[in-house]
Structure 1
Amino acid sequence: MPPRLPRAYPYNPAMTDTAAPLRLTTGPAMLELLPALGGTILRYDWHGVPVLRPTEGMPTAARVTACYPLVPYSNRIADGRLAFGGKSWPIARTADNHPLPIHGLAWQRPWTVTRQDATHVLMEQRYEVPEALAPEAAVPWPFPFHATQSFELGEDVLRMTLTLRNTGTTEQPAGLGWHPYFPRTPQTRVRAQVSHMWINDDQSLPRERIDTGGAVDDGLPVAQVDLDNVFDGFAGTASVAWPERGMAVDMEAHAPLGHLVIFTPPGKPHLAVEPVSNMTDAFNRYALATAAAHEQAHELADLAPGVRQDRATGTLLLAPGAQAAATLTLRPRRLR
């Protein structure tokens, strides 16, 4: 049974002091942000048509918005416990509808706007590790960090950049990504350059890796599938097309976003296509592999000074003071 949160760290707190949304407009594009509610996107419209699932009313939970950031990891942590560097920590739940910690901390905490103009917003969030209330008490995350999120709106493009800097004194694992929701219509198709998919167990944790056989490259009819799976071998390009709306959006994700989650909840009018750096439960899998073999046997990629990435799990390894960054671009277009 995963540990429950101490009273001092409630999950999904009702955020009522969210202030007014920030609205950016240029030409046919409009973007609404709510920094105080997890640095979320409320809506992104192009020529008056929603590109992302539009948020209904004024939300008090980030999970019902159009998009939220995934920091310092994406997806679930097995058994509610993190292993890294020979140590182990109980990690608190982050959502009341999931028994395991999911999607990190940034979407559950307010962000502060540090710069804004007509088409650009920069916001930040700082996290310090709270003192444990009791031995083995679950904490949100055992490593301190500073994150930034920027949004740049063009007439036919939305560019988002996410950074995470290790503000601690020891190496830490990290992950970056976004959880954008899109409208789901009967003819919606998702295309993505991926090579393999992880089949889940009954806790939605990866169990078996299979070759996709090009099925996602050819276009998934998402009205007919039930997925909440992570794909690897993601080459950085994906698209969502709505033939009956005569519209599509192309996604461009850059390193270290080498994984993709596709989520198509049955009976819901939305889906999610999530470019992320790490596979589900990446950090524990990396720690297990490290314990079983010398670290020199791992295939690590150097991304920036003090930043490495394990190619198998997508785990980012940040030295003290090092910063990882990721960029996602959305380009809406007409279907011909």
Structure 2
Amino acid sequence: MTTRDDILLTAGDVELTVQAGNGCRAGSLRIGGTEVLRPGDHYGSFPMVPWCGRTENGRFKNGAQLHQLPVNDPPHAIHGTVRDSAWRTAHRTASEASFTYDLVDPWPYKGRVTQVFELAEDALTIRLGIETYDDSFPAQAGWHPWFLRRLTEDGPDVTLDFDAAWQEERGADHLPTGRRIDPRPGPWDDCFGMPDGVDVTLTWPGQLAIQVTSSAQWAVVYDEQPEAVCVEPQTGPPNGLNTLPRLVTPIEPLETTTTWTWRRL
């Protein structure tokens, strides 16, 4: 059944709250009593499905078929359709839970999305899968976590450490131009290519370090707001439905995983 109740997972002194009724987002992650995610109905960490980032003018093709998505970040469509929807709770234990969501209009294809959370005392692993037993369609999957810039009011700002093989050049329309350039210094609202898998470390000096890894090969880094920074593993670049389509078929689902591993400083 569909529930809007928050689900609390625990492992030692770590607490994860999953908001099944609000896009199946991680609404809170408290490590030893310290919150690391920006609170609020539109923040925490939400899944991006069935596309990530911006899709140009809300349009994409599947073969010769042109589709129009709602333009929710004019002039583009952004971050998929599942982040504001209620998901079904399929299974839960004290430290693990799984959820499902059936794709519906305005997404033009049938499919099922599964998200699984596995919490440990030193790590959180999240798995996303998209499957179909109907028509094949292009799709992307990823996550959009909002990590607090400061863990305490007078604490230090977080620092980011990563090596990327390239940066997707960003055009005036905030979409990749198609050129791959050498990574540039921030501030960023940019997509980086990491062909060996996403690997980014966030460090709050003297407090905490979180390593974000993923089987995905792209990450958008967004640090232009004073409250939080975002490290977004995703299976393709922004506008990838058009520029780098990955088909979900009845015999080949789309699956990806991210793990956040932390250590206290």
**Common fold, TM-score beyond 0.5?**
yes
Alignment check: 8 A CA contact 2:133 2:249 kept? no
Which residue, out of 242, 258, 273, partners 2:217? Answer: 258
Alignment check: 8 A CA contact 2:160 2:202 kept? yes
Partner of 1:320: 250
Amino acid in the other structure paired with 2:27: L
Partner of 2:143: 178
Give the structure, 1 or 2, with the largest relative contact order (CA under 8 Å, sep 6 or more).
Answer: 2
What do the CA deviations read for 1:257-290 (whole angstroms, capped 9, x no partner)? 1101001124x210100000011111212xxxxx
**Is residue 233 of structure 2 the alignment partner of residue 275 of structure 1?**
yes
* Equivalent position SS for 1:107: coil
**Is residue 208 of structure 2 the alignment partner of residue 242 of structure 1?**
no
User: Post-superposition shift, 1:48?
Assistant: 1.2
Alignment check: 8 A CA contact 1:193 1:234 kept? no
* Equivalent position SS for 1:106: coil
User: Post-superposition shift, 1:320?
Assistant: 2.7
Partner of 1:29: 14
Separation in structure 1 between the aligned mates of residue 86 and residue 93 of structure 2, nearest angstrom:
20
Separation in structure 2 between the aligned mates of residue 203 and residue 81 of structure 1, nearest angstrom:
15
Partner of 1:192: 162
Higher normalized helix content (fraction of residues) = 1
- Please say which of residues 39-48 and 227-236 is displaced more in the overlay: 227-236
Q: RMSD between aligned alpha carbons?
A: 1.9
Higher normalized strand content (fraction of residues) = 2
**Count of residue pairs brought into register by the alignment:** 257
Alignment check: 8 A CA contact 2:12 2:121 kept? yes
Amino acid in the other structure paired with 2:49: V
Alignment check: 8 A CA contact 1:253 1:275 kept? yes
Amino acid in the other structure paired with 1:197: Q
Alignment check: 8 A CA contact 1:193 1:235 kept? no
Structure 2 stretches of 5 or more lacking a match? 151-155
Amino acid in the other structure paired with 1:196: W
Alignment check: 8 A CA contact 1:120 1:151 kept? yes
What do the CA deviations read for 1:215-242 (whole angstroms, capped 9, x no partner)? 6xxxx7xxxx331111113432111111
Partner of 2:95: 119
Separation in structure 2 between the aligned mates of residue 68 and residue 102 of structure 1, nearest angstrom:
13
Structure 1 stretches of 5 or more lacking a match? 1-16, 131-139, 286-312
Alignment check: 8 A CA contact 1:51 1:249 kept? no
User: Post-superposition shift, 1:321?
Assistant: 4.7
Separation in structure 2 between the aligned mates of residue 34 and residue 187 of structure 1, nearest angstrom:
27
Separation in structure 2 between the aligned mates of residue 239 and residue 192 of structure 1, nearest angstrom:
7
Separation in structure 1 between the aligned mates of residue 88 and residue 141 of structure 2, nearest angstrom:
19
Partner of 1:150: 116
Which residue, out of 169, 178, 181, partners 1:210? Answer: 181
Alignment check: 8 A CA contact 2:57 2:75 kept? no
Q: TM-score, normalised by structure 2?
A: 0.90
* Equivalent position SS for 1:235: coil
Alignment check: 8 A CA contact 1:234 1:260 kept? no
Larger radius of gyration: 1
